[in-house]
Structure 1
Amino acid sequence: MNRRDLLRAALALPLLGSLGLPALAQPVDVTAIDRYLRRLRVAQGRFRQTNPNGSTQAGTFYISKPGRIRFEYDTPKGAMVIADGSWVGVFDPKSNRGPNRYPLSRTPLSLLLRDDISLAEPGMVLGATREPDGTTDITVVDPKAPGEGRIVMRFAANPIALRGWQVITKTGQRTQVSLASLATNVQPSRSLFNIELATANRR
């Protein structure tokens, strides 16, 4: 994957747009999912990302609330996206410069990483769908900045577990992230979310 593809995939985070709301299919227990999200403090595992151009990438991810997430891509080696609680750093291994940085508050993943997320907040949940197998998709937006876009979070049922999310750009481009081997009982090292440290280690 070249530098342009890497940046395009990462920039799908802050550039969500507005599409039609998902139709409500079967009844969704939003309260149970809200409870799960509040209890989800740390996580790590494998992910597979499908980019707007149809290309795919895989790697390892780490989450530590509030505000911290790290994606380590298998290829190209050294490609990473790190959120440290305030900023998102996009690391391009082919660049001699430091990472490109974007405010975390402008990315839809900031909703997932909130310390106090509440799906009961007025205006946050735009729609929800439930498949026959129990898989649930919930579309959320920041009520204070609805123009910044939205994220569709996917959850498995019995037991409830985060399975991934999809972001949609203002032009309709979609980036899908599917999670696997989700572990929620391991505390990732805080150093993993240090953008400055990651930058120094590349030198």
Structure 2
Amino acid sequence: MTRRTLLAALLPFLALLLALPPVAMAQQVDAGAINAYLTGLRSAQGTFRQTNPNGSVQTGTFYLAKPGRIRFEYDSPAGAMVIADGSWVGVFDPKSNRNPTRYPLNSTPLGLLLRDRISLSEPGLVQGATRDASGTQITVVDPQNPKAGQMVMRFSNDPVALTSWEITTQTGARTRVDLTSLKPGATQDRSLFNIELAATAYRR
């Protein structure tokens, strides 16, 4: 095949490519704006939709108060909760037992989101970041405990707001939490994050 013949054969495909809309280009991540937002997010409450590793979906209400405190109340099953009190995470599962299973908060990347102060410039914290028209995505790990897993935080661009996060454990299990509503600045009663108090009420 001659060069002229090859070019003639390719012309229809070139014309098709030129007719297609341009691919959205990746944009520069505004790390300063994301960092300022996370630092300023001291307390919040709202609703969420959680996709579990097995594909099941749960919904519920959450309450957040930095440093280190968050509470998830699930709509179903009744009584299911997850509470972080600043040091520990208590998992309340009415199907298995009447006492919460406890884990150190620093054993999960969720602790990064609940830090009193976070700096995205901390060495080893950010593993990747992208920004496009749909939002900004930042992948982080705990530099002191990278084997605990990673968390991908997603934000809207304008204005900057947390929309979801996804935690991947060292075994590869993924749990995604999409925030269906978020009210920053909501004042929280500290008793909401008391695992012992919740456990006492749970056993009644």
User: Any idea what SS the aligned residue of 1:137 has?
Assistant: strand
Gap runs ≥5 in structure 2: 1-24
User: Any idea what SS the aligned residue of 2:143 has?
Assistant: coil
Computing the radius of gyration from Cα coordinates, the structure with the larger value is 2
CA distance in 1 between partners of 2:127 and 2:97 (Å): 41
Give the TM-score, by structure 1 length: 0.84
Once the two structures are superposed, residues 73-109 of structure 1 have per-residue CA deviations (whole angstroms, 9 ceiling, x without a partner) of 0000000000000100000113443100000011101
Residue 173 of structure 1: aligned partner = 173
Please report how far the alpha carbon of residue 180 of structure 1 lies from its aligned counterpart in structure 2 after TM superposition.
1.8
Aligned: 1:191 with 2:187: no
Q: Which amino acid letter does the alignment assign opposite residue 156 of structure 2? A: A
Residue 16 of structure 2: aligned partner = none
CA distance in 1 between partners of 2:26 and 2:128 (Å): 10
Once the two structures are superposed, residues 61-80 of structure 1 have per-residue CA deviations (whole angstroms, 9 ceiling, x without a partner) of 11000000000000000000
Once the two structures are superposed, residues 129-157 of structure 1 have per-residue CA deviations (whole angstroms, 9 ceiling, x without a partner) of 11223x11100111111122110001011
CA distance in 2 between partners of 1:124 and 1:116 (Å): 13
CA distance in 2 between partners of 1:181 and 1:46 (Å): 5
**Contact 2:149–2:168 (CA under 8 A) maintained in structure 1:** yes
CA distance in 1 between partners of 2:84 and 2:52 (Å): 19
Q: Which amino acid letter does the alignment assign opposite residue 148 of structure 1? A: A
Please report how far the alpha carbon of residue 161 of structure 1 lies from its aligned counterpart in structure 2 after TM superposition.
0.5
Which structure is richer in relative contact order (CA contacts within 8 A, separation 6 or more)? 1
CA distance in 1 between partners of 2:100 and 2:42 (Å): 26
Aligned: 1:59 with 2:60: yes
CA distance in 2 between partners of 1:106 and 1:192 (Å): 21
**Contact 2:129–2:138 (CA under 8 A) maintained in structure 1:** yes
CA distance in 1 between partners of 2:171 and 2:49 (Å): 23
Of the structure 1 ranges 179-188 and 106-115, higher mean CA displacement relative to structure 2 is found in 179-188
CA distance in 1 between partners of 2:98 and 2:59 (Å): 24
Structure 1 or 2: more helix by fraction: 2
Please report how far the alpha carbon of residue 27 of structure 1 lies from its aligned counterpart in structure 2 after TM superposition.
1.2
User: Any idea what SS the aligned residue of 1:98 has?
Assistant: coil
CA distance in 1 between partners of 2:106 and 2:169 (Å): 16
Q: Please tell me the root mean square deviation across aligned C-alpha atoms, in Å.
A: 1.4
Residue 72 of structure 1: aligned partner = 73
Please report how far the alpha carbon of residue 44 of structure 1 lies from its aligned counterpart in structure 2 after TM superposition.
0.5
User: Any idea what SS the aligned residue of 1:121 has?
Assistant: coil
CA distance in 2 between partners of 1:61 and 1:120 (Å): 28
CA distance in 1 between partners of 2:169 and 2:144 (Å): 18
Count matched residues.
179
CA distance in 1 between partners of 2:129 and 2:30 (Å): 10
Residue 31 of structure 2: aligned partner = 30
Q: Which amino acid letter does the alignment assign opposite residue 175 of structure 2? A: T
Residue 182 of structure 2: aligned partner = 182
CA distance in 1 between partners of 2:97 and 2:151 (Å): 32
User: Any idea what SS the aligned residue of 1:31 has?
Assistant: helix
CA distance in 1 between partners of 2:56 and 2:79 (Å): 18
